[in-house]
Structure 1
Amino acid sequence: MSSAQDNPCTRCGACCASFRVDFARQELLSEGGTVPDGLTVDVTDATCRMRGTDHARPRCAALQGTVGERAGCGIYEWRPSPCREFGMRAPLGLGDEACNRARARHGLTPL
């Protein structure tokens, strides 16, 4: 039987340090959603972005730990929809193409 600790999706962090994360403002805590406003930046009147994900070397402000060793989302239960949907096309524990690209950027083997 596997646990969340065995799931590389909850301890890798490569995706959190590889991609821009934009989402609808309605997901912000101040707008009735769950994502803490302080971890975001405005993009347009309708969208915002997780702070740090638009840098040349992206790293989401909610990411804690060291990518590929022991990393996790500090707001996992409140993360925005792009993070919730990432990798859902692949079976649990098996990376999809975007996951494996993110892992490669950090010198990690594909899942």
Structure 2
Amino acid sequence: MDYSCVECGACCASFRVDFHPSDGEAQGGRVPEGLYDELNVSIARMRGTDDAQPRCRALRGRIGEQVSCFIYDERPDPCREFEAGSEACLRARRRHGLAEVA
């Protein structure tokens, strides 16, 4: 199955994104300051992903049409590890009313 992440973006508007604060720019990591909050010594969270209607602040565009991550090269590990076509991907697509690709 071929899922085009640049047309979808459902995952970026469905899940909380937590990562270790050392991945944030404030501690020498790659995720730009202003796009995450350090919650404690073990957890940082991408802004917008814990909202009632989650949507990562780094996401641009319309879900299911055309999207992009404006920090793609600096995104945190959970985003790098997310697999297109996985069960989590399909769950996010369903949440946004997007069809599964045949």
TM-score under structure 1 length normalisation: 0.84
Q: Distance in 1 between matches of 2:97 and 2:52?
A: 17
Does residue 18 of structure 2 align to residue 28 of structure 1?
Answer: no
Residue 79 of structure 1 corresponds to 75
- State the match for 1:108 in structure 2: 98
1:50 matched to 2:50? The reply is no
> Offset at 1:69?
0.5
1:98 matches 2:94? no
Alignment CA distance shift 1:7-1:100 (3 Å): closer
Over the aligned positions, Cα root-mean-square deviation in angstroms equals: 1.5
Q: Higher helix proportion, which one? A: 1
Moved more, 99-108 or 38-47: 38-47
- Report SS of the residue matched to 1:38: coil
Instruction: Flag the structure with more relative contact order, 1 or 2, with Cα contacts below 8 A and sequence separation at least 6.
Output: 2
Residue correspondences, number: 100
SS at match of 2:40: coil
Identity of aligned residues (%): 56
Structure 1 residues 7 and 98: alpha-carbon distance in aligned structure 2, compared to 1, 3 A threshold: closer
2:57 paired with 1:61 = yes
Q: Which moved further from structure 2: 21-30 or 37-46?
A: 37-46
For 1:90, the equivalent position in structure 2 comes to none
Q: 1: CA distance between counterparts of 2:22 and 2:37?
A: 14
* Distance in 2, Cα, partners of 1:68 & 1:17: 11
Q: In the aligned structure 2, how far is the partner of 1:15 from the partner of 1:30?
A: 25
